[in-house]
Amino acid sequence: MSNEVMMFALFYPEYQVTDETIEDGKIVVKMNSLKTADNCPVCGVESVTLHEDSIRTIQEAPCWNTGVWIRAKIHTFKCQNQDCPVDVFSEELSFAGQNKTYTYRLEKLLQDFRTKYGNEKAKYVLAVMGADLSDFS
Ligand SMILES: [Zn+2]
């Protein structure tokens, strides 16, 4: 992959895209966070103390009628505020909410389609485009 153009890198400037592959008929984009600091979601104090890395798998909007999944290596930080009840927190992602399994872009696409076509047709169209909507109600 090293000599090929990484198309998805254009969409995630805060991350280093390390690989783009096809797995089980779906596009899988692997990337690493470049963040070196983040703010605690409870107290807001910035932390530069890395705790460990973890992997989050998040569905992106489909592309070329194929499902797209991001497999991101992200950081967890230690909160440095001794008065804060939070010990460790995961970095905030620019493309997906906390604990979400899909991106803001996919969420917006579904909302736009729901507005135009209603829920069932919206889900049908997105499924034809390659999305897996099992996590959406
Ligand atoms: Zn905190």
Q: Which of 14, 102, 2, 125 is nearest to 56 (CA)?
A: 102
What is the Å distance from ligand 1's center to 34 Cα? 21
What is the Å distance from ligand 1's center to 88 Cα? 8
- The model's pLDDT over 94-109, given as tens digits with 9 standing for 90+, comes to 999 988 999 999 999 9
Note the helical H segments in 8-132: 104-117, 119-129
Mean per-residue pLDDT over the chain, rounded: 91
| DSSP E strand stretches across the chain | 15-23, 26-33, 38-39, 46-47, 50-63, 66-78, 88-90
What is the Å distance from ligand 1's center to 82 Cα? 8
Q: Is 5 helix (H, G, I), strand (E, B) or coil?
A: coil
What is the Å distance from ligand 1's center to 137 Cα? 32
- The model's pLDDT over 4-48, given as tens digits with 9 standing for 90+, comes to 567 788 888 889 999 999 999 999 999 999 999 999 999 999 999
What is the Å distance from ligand 1's center to 4 Cα? 41
pTM above 0.75? yes
